[in-house]
Amino acid sequence: MDILTDIAELQGVRGPLHLAIGVFDGVHCGHRAVIEAAKRSAGESGGSVVVVTFDPHPIELLSPRNAPRLLTASDHKLHLLERHLGVRQVLVVSFTREFAEQTGEEFVASLIAAVPVGGIARICVGQEWQFGKGRSGDTALLESLGQRYGFEVSGVGTVEVGGMRVSSTRIREAIAAGDFEVAAALLGRVYTVFGTVIKGRQLGRTIGFPTANLSVHSEQLPPTGVYAVRATGSGDSWNGVANLGYRPTVEGGEVKRLLEVHLFGLESDIYGEDLEVEFIEYIRPEQKFEGLEALKGQIARDAAAARAIFLREK
């Protein structure tokens, strides 16, 4: 995948360009419809598809107190765009205070200025998407500018799945409730989190159950508890059992949720690597134990329960 980080880099992409623009948090069915519209357009008239997205999520900068947990942090989003949609070129626009001051028209003008005359064939967005300072940009503005600069516009309407309106908010609610079936239906894929393996207390090694501790980049997590999971990374995939729960941190005695994953058959050191983790099935709530032997025995039972779940899947 080619990742562009400056609008000016669009001049190096083979035209004409078919742009799919949006935040695309979750890369859900609605987002896919926008991107597929751009792919169809390129298939009909030639040229290149470029997905244009933003980092960080605009609300994280404009209203951090109201910012939701992400469905997909940037690295996860890029991974999904390439793996599930075959996207080859993405422009990640840095959403800064200065950029946030641009009007919708100024943003589109910057795209137009980056490519030769007529270099943009179509811009695809969600029908209700608004952009630019004061939400000054919308599909009506795009259509007006399209007439001026010679590009077409596709405003993709709301997508429904099984009578449910697809939205990032609805998906977050489903995940927070542990309803992976609804989340998967609206995402158009299984729900996963993307995290980097970090060093923990390495307690698991001392009792025969080494775990990978994941930093999940502020992504939306399901309810606390123990789960059967499947993890993918470095070209390999492992079944396992995970504990999602609260642990005191060393710094300041703060408490935060951590995802600790014991992967069956993993023998190599994967510190610093990224893992995509799928929650297969809830096993039990998190609990405290009186000592290491009690903890060791429970982990063994949890691992056995997870293995039974995977056997049932076959």
Catalytically annotated residues: 260
User: Coil, strand or helix: which one is 166?
Assistant: coil
Tokens of 270: 């994967």
Phi, psi of 309 (to 5 degrees): -65, -45
Rounded Cα–Cα distance for residues 263 and 211 (Å): 7
Find residue 226's DSSP bridge partners.
Answer: 243, 284
Omega before 16 within 30 of 0, i.e. cis: yes
Tokens of 239: 């079944």
CB 292 within 8 A of CB 210: no
Rounded Cα–Cα distance for residues 186 and 207 (Å): 40
CB 239 within 8 A of CB 230: yes
Rounded Cα–Cα distance for residues 181 and 172 (Å): 13
Tokens of 308: 């039974």
Within 8 A by CB and 6+ apart from 45, the residues are 16, 121
Phi, psi of 56 (to 5 degrees): -75, 180
Chain-centroid distance of CA 107 in Å reads 24
